């Protein structure tokens, strides 16, 4: 169901397509290899450690620390109306990294490398083309587990 990624979906089919549906339902999922136990985010169906294609989804807490960030002034196609905006790369507690927009619980002047952040599932109401995504928020930010269905 990668259609839930809307504009940013360039992949017509993938074995990890449940990821977008979980995100829609308010869960951030990584994957765990059933062969060797390696954990990855974003989820991968084929293990980069042992090449086993047998995986399971595991729910992530969203707890993370900021690795780097940048302010986007010249946005890519489809995101022009959002510029300027800030995106960050975080190390997730369970393993792996995520690239995400900063949400409005974090002020730009408070952003610091290594700060604790919370990755929060989001559903865009005003932007039909984006649908599901996630944002970086202050630790402890709560979110509605079911974002709704459409």
**Which stretches of the chain bind Zn ion, using CB under 5 A?**
33, 35-36, 38, 47, 49-50, 52
Antiparallel, parallel or unpaired: β 55-59 and 97-102: unpaired
* Smallest gap from residue 62 Cβ to Zn ion (A): 24
Is residue 41 a contact partner of residue 56, using CB atoms and an 8 Å limit? no
Q: Is 61 exposed, middle or buried (0-12, 13-18, 19+ CB in 10 A)?
A: exposed
The β-bridge partners of 132 are 123
Residue closer to Zn ion, measured from CB, 30 or 103: 30
Residue closer to Zn ion, measured from CB, 56 or 110: 56
* Smallest gap from residue 32 Cβ to Zn ion (A): 9
* Smallest gap from residue 39 Cβ to Zn ion (A): 10
Residue closer to Zn ion, measured from CB, 39 or 132: 39
Residue 6 DSSP SS3: helix
């Amino acid at each position: 169901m990668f259609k839930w990624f809307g504009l940013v979906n360039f992949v017509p089919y993938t074995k990890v397509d449940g990821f977008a549906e979980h995100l829609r339902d308010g869960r951030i999922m990584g994957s765990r290899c059933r062969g060797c136990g390696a954990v990855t985010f974003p989820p991968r169906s084929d293990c980069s450690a042992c090449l086993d294609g047998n995986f399971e989804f595991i729910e992530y807490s969203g707890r993370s620390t900021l690795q780097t960030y940048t302010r986007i002034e010249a946005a890519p196609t489809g995101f022009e109306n959002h510029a300027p905006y800030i995106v960050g790369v975080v190390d997730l507690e369970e393993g792996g990294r995520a690239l995400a927009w900063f949400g409005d619980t974090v002020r730009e002047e408070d952003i610091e490398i290594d700060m604790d952040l919370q990755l929060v599932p989001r559903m865009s109401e005003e932007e039909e083309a984006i649908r599901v995504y996630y944002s970086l928020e202050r630790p402890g930010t709560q979110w509605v587990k079911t974002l709704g269905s459409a």
